[in-house]
Amino acid sequence: MAAVGNGAAGGGVDTKASFRQIYDTLKEELLTDPAFEFTAESHQWIDRMIDYNVLGGKCNRGLSVVDSYKLLKGADVLGEEEMFLACTLGWCIEWLQAFFLVLDDIMDDSHTRRGQPCWFRLPEVGSIAVNDGIILRNHISRILRRHFKGKPYYADLLDLFNEVEFKTASGQLLDLITTHEGEKDLTKYNISVHRRIVQYKTAYYSFYLPVACALLLSGENLDNYGDVENILVEMGTYFQVQDDYLDCYGDPQFIGKIGTDIEDYKCSWLVVQALERADENQKCILFENYGKKDPACVAKVKNLYKELNLEVVFQDYENESYKKLIADIEAQPGIAVQNVLKSFLHKIYKRQK
């Protein structure tokens, strides 16, 4: 079987090109799926819907399946078959993300996503987007069935996607009922609630899932990788804390947007830290100004963050997290697994965007 070469590490140019090509194959298979008799109109709808929602992102999660698998194998170059399967699992994660985002945008009443109107904002789409989200989720099952049924790890793969989806939807629920508009109640925000929302809503599918896919593809039993799961979920939490920090302190030119977590009443790591450190007076300032669009209110919150030295609190958190993560990683028995985890960590440590 011909080898698909890729010299560069971390989703090099060749990997990206192969990855993109496999998207076309997967989409074509979905559009000729014998489990449904497409009409011309529904064929065209699904074709456009997939392109609109699955493409347009950076594919970090998807590509990291391929990178992780290479590190686990200790190989820079993969055979055609295993390259195809690794990319396919990567695309399943991209499809999962598309499913989450289509529905999240509806629930958050958002306007734009990846530089274009949210799918449900298109006048001809509207609430049909709810069903399109479901269809995107179903595409994952169709893809897995077509390419993995019969493999010894097929049931584990279905279980993995199911369990990660369940955790994500549960984290989403927690986020929705905690940060529910209408009854703004800062007393609900604390570090334990923040950790739970972040771990379930983001960390499992963004950090654990790509590595778990690569492990299954390598023939490993996930029951033996509980530590790896915990480390990746910790890393995902650290990543989201950075995200919360950069929303306020990052350079909009780097991040590509102007943060609005304060205006949006987000359960951000910063406000949670502020609440923990504020005296009664300072708490009043937060209660009165957090979650308001008025720039004067936002300025008062930012000022309080400064008084409470949150920038330094964050640097300390970042340094501590890094030390702890490195120690945990180096306590892992296998070198290949250590490499996978370090590769993830070094992609995000001290990032500015």
Active site residues: 58, 99, 104, 108, 113, 175, 201, 239, 243-244
Q: Is 149 in the site for its own copies (CB under 8 A)?
A: yes
- By DSSP bridging, strand 116-117 and strand 3-4 are unpaired
170 binds its own copies per the rule CB under 8 A: yes
**Which listed residue (132, 220, 234, 244) binds its own copies by CB under 8 A?**
132
Question: CB of residue 106 vs its own copies: minimum separation in angstroms?
Answer: 6
Return the residue of 29, 33, 47, 104 that touches Mg ion, per CB under 5 A. 104
Token duo for residue 39:
């009409």
Rule CB under 5 A: say whether 243 interacts with Mg ion.
Answer: yes
Residue-by-residue DSSP string for 158-192: HHHHHHHHHHHHHHHHHHHHHS-SSS--GGG--HH
What ranges in the chain are assigned the alpha helix state H?
Answer: 13-31, 40-54, 60-73, 80-107, 128-148, 154-178, 191-198, 209-217, 226-249, 252-255, 269-277, 280-289, 295-307, 310-330, 335-348
Q: Give the shortest CB-175-to-Mg ion separation in angstroms.
A: 6
According to DSSP, residue 278 is labeled: -
Give me the long-range contacts of 319-326 (CB less than 8 A, separation at least 24): 321/234, 321/238, 321/241, 322/349, 324/234, 325/231, 325/234, 325/235, 325/238
Q: Does residue 39 touch its own copies according to CB under 8 A?
A: yes
* Nearest-approach distance from CB 310 to its own copies, in angstroms: 25
Provide, rounded to whole angstroms, the least separation between the CB of residue 243 and Mg ion.
4
Told to check if 176 binds its own copies by CB under 8 A, we report yes
Distance CA 92, CA 165 (A): 12
Q: Which does 280 bind (CB under 5 to 8 A by kind): its own copies, Mg ion, none?
A: none
**Residues in 16-35 at the binding interface with its own copies, rule: CB under 8 A:** 35
Cβ proximity of 291 and 184 under 8 Å: yes
Q: What is the largest CA-CA distance in the chain?
A: 70
Query: Quick one: which H or E segment has residue 121?
Result: none
Which of 13, 12, 217, 15 lies closest to 4, judged by CA? Answer: 15
By beta-carbon proximity to its own copies, the closer residue of 115 and 123 is 123
User: Does residue number 107 form part of the binding site for its own copies (CB under 8 A)?
Assistant: yes
Q: Where do we find the tokens 């090509």?
A: 21
The nearer residue to its own copies, 68 or 172, going by C-beta atoms, is: 172
Site map (CB under 8 A) of its own copies, residues 42-71, x = contact: x--xx-------------------------
Choose the contact partner of 326 out of Mg ion, its own copies, none; CB within 5 to 8 A by kind. none
From the list 19, 95, 200, 208, which residue makes contact with its own copies (rule: CB under 8 A)? 200
Please tell me what DSSP assigns to residue 113.
Answer: E
Residue numbers at the binding site for its own copies (CB under 8 A): 35-37, 39, 41-42, 45-46, 103, 106-107, 109, 127-128, 130-135, 138, 141-142, 145, 149, 154-155, 158-159, 162-163, 165-167, 169-170, 172-174, 176-178, 180, 193, 196, 200
Residue numbers at the binding site for Mg ion (CB under 5 A): 104, 108, 243, 247
